[in-house]
Amino acid sequence: MKKNILVVHTGGTISMFEDSETGAVKPGNENPLSTQTKGLNNLANLIIKEPFNLPSPHITMQEMIQLKKIIEDEVNQNKIEGVVITHGTDTLEETAYFLDLTIDLKIPIVVTGAMRSSNEIGSDGLYNLITSIRVAACDDAKGKGVLVVLNDEIHTAENVTKTHASNVSTFQSPQYGPIGIITKQGVFFHNTPTHKEKYDIDQISKRVALLKAHAGMDSLLFHSILDLQYDGIVIEALGQGNMPPDTVEGIKSLIEANIPTIIVSRCFNGIAQDIYGYNGGGKQLKELGAIFSNGLNGQKARIKLLIALSQTNDMKVIEEMFH
């Protein structure tokens, strides 16, 4: 028996056209996926929603919350057995991670996209949509959190990231790899996520900054964050979580103002840890009160801190959420 799968189109390259004259990729008057999806009812009983049609750089926390509510409402009102969301790739991992942290459902939820627009040679959008529907209809995909499916691979929302500006195999999970694959014969999982956490929220009102460390960095930007009254900050620090010595004063001022200061590594692999004891080293930052995140990249740590601040201002509770 075919399953009832909710398909939510949000926009992005997967729904865009390449202009034959200028080469510019942009949205058209209609989303081509809306028509294409209707032709996929041989895979499942598809319920199609299109709440907005936005390039992913236009996606904000408000659209993420809207997606969360659409999914929860549809599941409550209809017998939905799986969900597929089509999304632009630039911020896809952030939306997927937000939904992973805030939707408490066992049914498969899959986020997918494309690196080539709908009318380009070698367009990957329709294929990724088909494989995502197959994963969402798969019993083995239940209870694994929000999944990201592109290029015949299945990744967790927590670990996946966009690694290439244009290549179709851009989505990878550094250190961990995909947890499953899709072939012509079926959907196969070889790993199951063990870490699960859920937070009940209905709005995001806080502001969190994200800064990347560099050689010779000073405290000016950190003082600016304080002056602009941000509620939190994520720092992509050097190596295992170290900063140039001239930044310490600014970081200290943020922590003394009770602004949660999360440290992640700007490195592609590895985890930020308080190892080095020199001026600006991780040990000094930890002693000042900085919170070291357990392996998240900067953009996902920012999503998590926004969610944390919607729950509490208690620094100890926030620190526990990042361990």
Name the region of 312 (left: φ>0; alpha: ψ -120 to 50; beta: rest): beta
Band (94; pLDDT cuts 50, 70, 90): very high
Q: Is 13 a catalytic residue?
A: yes
Q: What is the pLDDT of residue 250?
A: 98
Q: What is the pLDDT of residue 143?
A: 96
Q: What is the pLDDT of residue 133?
A: 97
Q: What is the pLDDT of residue 155?
A: 98
Exposure b/e, 100-120, CB count within 10 A at least 16 = b:
bbbbebebbbbbbbbbbbbeb
Q: What is the pLDDT of residue 323?
A: 84
Of 24-33, 49-58, 154-163, 287-296, the one with minimum mean pLDDT is: 24-33
Residues 114, 177: Cα–Cα separation, whole Å? 19
8 Å CB contact between 84 and 141: no
Q: What is the pLDDT of residue 195?
A: 82
Residues 182, 244: Cα–Cα separation, whole Å? 45
8 Å CB contact between 44 and 137: yes
* Mean pLDDT, rounded, of the chain: 94
Q: What is the pLDDT of residue 185?
A: 94
String of DSSP letters for 143-185: TS-EEEEETTEEEETTT-EE--SS-TT-EE-TTT--SEEE-SS
Token representation of residue 99: 């939904």
Q: Which of 13, 91, 156, 247 is catalytic?
A: 13
Residues 176, 161: Cα–Cα separation, whole Å? 11
Question: Average pLDDT of 124-144?
Answer: 96
